[in-house]
Amino acid sequence: MEVVRVEGLGKTYPGGTKALEDVSFSIEKGEIFCLLGRNGAGKTTLLRILATQLRPTRGRASVLGHDVLANPKAIRPHIAVVPQEARPQMLLSPFDHVFYMCLMRGLSRAEAHTRTKKAMEDLGL
Ligand SMILES: Nc1ncnc2c1ncn2[C@@H]1O[C@H](COP(=O)(O)OP(=O)(O)O)[C@@H](O)[C@H]1O
Ligand SMILES: [Mg+2]
């Protein structure tokens, strides 16, 4: 099963910078995919398009069979992105970090509690 499909993708920022031009690839389920490129090559732009945070200007991209432009809400509950800028909130415990993320994703408090406990146990925290 193809979990990511990118076809002829392009992104030109409003200022005129061409960040992506005619990018095509696909990623199969279970595959570990590493995208390398020098600073400014367009990696973050591509990732933000796949995470439905940024609109492409050309081409198509889909995640889990859903088009990023047509159906972003079908994609968001199933993906996780850890950007390089992510920082822990120092006043929150590891439990609280996971717990609040579960709540933000729409889980009930009870479900969030169960899921968080499981994550803490799995990681030995
Ligand atoms: N919000 C933005 N507005 C205008 N230009 C941008 C924006 N974000 C990135 N760029 C430009 O797009 C190009 C690709 O950037 P980026 O995707 O951040 O590359 P990478 O993550 O590979 O370092 C760079 O030339 C960068 O300056
Ligand atoms: Mg980057």
Token pair of 16 as six digits: 């005129």
Classified as helix, coil or strand, 61 is: strand
Q: What's the pLDDT score for residue 95?
A: 96
Q: What's the pLDDT score for residue 69?
A: 97
Determine the atom of ligand 1 nearest the C-alpha atom of 43: 22
Q: For the residues 14-32, what does the mean pLDDT come to?
A: 97
Q: Which residue has the least CA distance to atom 16 on ligand 1?
A: 42
Q: What is the pTM of this model?
A: 0.87
DSSP label of 74: H
- Please indicate whether residue 85 or residue 96 has the higher confidence score (pLDDT): 96
Determine the atom of ligand 1 nearest the C-alpha atom of 37: 22
Mean of all residue pLDDT scores within the chain:
95
DSSP label of 78: G
Query: Any idea where the domains of the chain sit in the sequence?
Result: 2-78, 94-123
Q: Is the pLDDT of residue 77 over 90?
A: no
Q: What's the pLDDT score for residue 78?
A: 92
Mutating to test ligand 1, I would choose from 9, 12, 13 the residue with most ligand atoms within 8 A of its C-beta, which is 13
Q: For the residues 36-56, what does the mean pLDDT come to?
A: 97
Q: Is the pLDDT of residue 115 over 80?
A: yes
Which of the four pLDDT bands, split at 50, 70 and 90, describes residue 43? very high
Share of the chain above pLDDT 90, in %: 86
How many whole angstroms separate alpha carbon 98 and alpha carbon 77?
A: 15
Domain 2-78 has CATH 3.40.50.300: yes
How many whole angstroms separate alpha carbon 55 and alpha carbon 119?
A: 33
- Opening angle at CA 24, ends 20 and 78, nearest 5: 90
Q: Please give the distance, rounded to the nearest whole angstrom, from the Cα atom of residue 100 to the centre of ligand 1.
A: 30
Write out the residues surrounding ion ligand 2, Cβ under 5 A. Answer: 43-44
Which of the four pLDDT bands, split at 50, 70 and 90, describes residue 29? very high
By the 8 A CB rule, do 46 and 23 touch?
yes
